[in-house]
Structure 1
Amino acid sequence: MAVELLSGKTFLLITGASQGIGRQIAVTVSRLLEKGSKLLLLARSENGLKDTADQVSKEVFVDFKSVDLSVATADQLSEIIRKSIDPSQFDRVMAVHNVGSVGELSKFTADMTDFDEWRKYYDLNVFSPAVLNSVVMNLFGDNEGVKKVVVNVTSICSIRPMKSMGYYCSGKAAREMYFKVFAEENPNVHVLSYSPGPVETNMLKTVAESAGDEELRTSFIDMRNQNKQLTTEQTVNRFVEILRGQKYKSGAHVDYYDDI
């Protein structure tokens, strides 16, 4: 049975859908969608996207496009969506902004002096979700009958500083504030910033292996050794539960562990 926020014929757009949390959202949520709904999966890895597409529900249509979101323009993103769907055919649109990278972990903030490195990180992790979100809203904006849901996959790092994670923490904070402002400006759009907790993904492994701060690196190693991390299935099931409950203000940061 579809959750209320996913009822009706839905267009579901997911970035970073070639692996990890993005893939699991595609697989899990596709099973909740009304027959005839459609998924559009975006990421750089075409092979990863194919694997994700093979795992989603056969009751929905699925399309995917290999794209580097850090360099794609608004016009290019609009064209990708227009080639995939006719916005007038859907009752609901849900955009899941999951794309993200952890960034350089060997440097502390005083050493982060390369403008190009800053721009490269923010292009992918902050600017591309903001621009893509605008593109999606504009494509569906003329039809007031279409319900809109926006999900920003965030992190505890957006509100809690962690040593040697200056790029990641600042990027997550900036991205989350953008979606808070968007929610204030668009009360007709349901917005959630979901913090998935420590999930066993390539990103978690990278922090455990490469974090410049020894204490942080050790804490991640210990967590993985003790199997305290979450699976993608666990966090996505909790995500669906939070969406179903809707016991939060639109635009809020909600963590996997929050009791709401």
Structure 2
Amino acid sequence: MQPLSGTVFLLISGASQGIGKKIAETFAPLLKPGSQILLLARNLEGLIDTKNNLPKYLTINTASIDLSTASADDLTGTMTNFLKNDEISKFDQAMIVHNAGSLGNIAQKTIEMTNFTVWRQYYDLNVFSPAILNNVFMKFFGSQVKCKIFIVNITSLCALQPMKSLAYYCSGKAAREMFFKVFAAENPDVNVLNYSPGPVKTNMLNVVCQDVGDTEVKKKFNELKDKDTALSPEKTVTRLLQVLVEQNYVSGDHVDFYDIL
């Protein structure tokens, strides 16, 4: 089944800015009437701005929620607020895009990362939250026989390759991606994609250019800005959509923007 076909329930985390916002703006016009979108992020103003850019014929809901502190009950309640039990069976597809995440402290070397609380807070948002949100999502749609499920995890090349001063980010992306690989192995009927968007012109790139501690890494990222070789959100999201439509990957695979499938 082609993604985003039929009547679709689409959930996007981190939808108030950057890649998440562009995913919403790119995917929504492809959906048929009767489809429903749920946008999650902390920034309510940003969510409303995203919503205002989407087609009016769709049912679009926003929820301002701090995913780093939300419990499974909180996430279940959020979905229940917008998704009634008698509506679930009408969907031909359900797709969740796990986009929300953060860099963490990018000024520190690994030997300086000694605070347990900082570690826990980083993993709460970047690893534990998407895992639990995914499981809540599956409780709603996993038992729907006719509903095809797509899971998209926005990952990074840093999940595969170490980068100095980015130990929180690299380790978090690696752990998060492995969770979805195991999930894919356990759930062969679900289509799972770990998509690495490449270097993208977002606020996150600006933060790395300014704050990353390692001088070699800082130089590399600033060259991306200076030479204007970083990707636009539109370009990488267009590639994501192409990968999903062509489906030339095994469920659970890591696919980078630059990969040739």
Q: For the residues of structure 2 that align with 1:169 and 1:178, how far apart are their CA atoms?
A: 14
| RMSD value, Cα | 0.9
Runs of 4+ in structure 1 off by over 6 angstroms are none
- 1:148-195 alpha-carbon deviations (Å, 9 max, x no partner): 000000000000100000000000000000000000000000000000
Question: Is 1:148–2:152 an aligned residue pair?
Answer: no
Query: Aligned equivalents of 1:57 and 1:201: distance in 2?
Result: 24
Question: 2:214 aligns to what?
Answer: 213
Structure 2 residue runs without a partner (length 5+): none
CA offset digits 1:30-77 (Å, max 9, x no partner): 011112211100000000000000011223111000000011011110
Return the alpha-carbon distance in structure 1 between the equivalents of residues 144 and 80 of structure 2.
Answer: 15
Q: How does 1:71-220 map to 2 (within 5 A)?
A: 71-86=69-84, 87-220=88-221
Distance in 2 between residues matched to 1:62 and 1:194, nearest whole Å: 24
Aligned-pair CA distance for 1:109: 0.5
- Pairs aligned (count): 258
1:197 maps to a residue whose letter is G
Give me the TM-score of the superposition, normalised by structure 2. Answer: 0.97
State the distance in 2 between where 1:94 and 1:204 align.
27
- In the alignment, the residues of structure 2 paired with residue 171 and residue 144 of structure 1 have an alpha-carbon distance, to the nearest angstrom, of 33
SS at match of 2:168: helix
Looking at structure 2, the residues matched to 128 and 152 of structure 1 have their Cα atoms a distance apart, in angstroms, of 12
The code of the aligned residue for 2:163 comes to M
**1:91-113 Cα deviation digits (max 9, x unpaired):** 11000000000110110001100
Secondary structure of 1:5's match? coil
Look up the equivalent residue of 2:234 and give its one-letter code. E
Q: Distance in 2 between matches of 1:219 and 1:142?
A: 47
TM-score, normalised on structure 1? 0.98
Alpha-carbon deviation of 1:89? 2.5
Partner of 1:19: 17
Identical residues among aligned pairs (%) = 52
Q: What amino acid is aligned across from residue 29 of structure 2 in structure 1?
A: R
> Offset of 1:141 from its aligned partner?
2.2
| 1:13-52 to 2 correspondences below 5 Å | 13-52=11-50
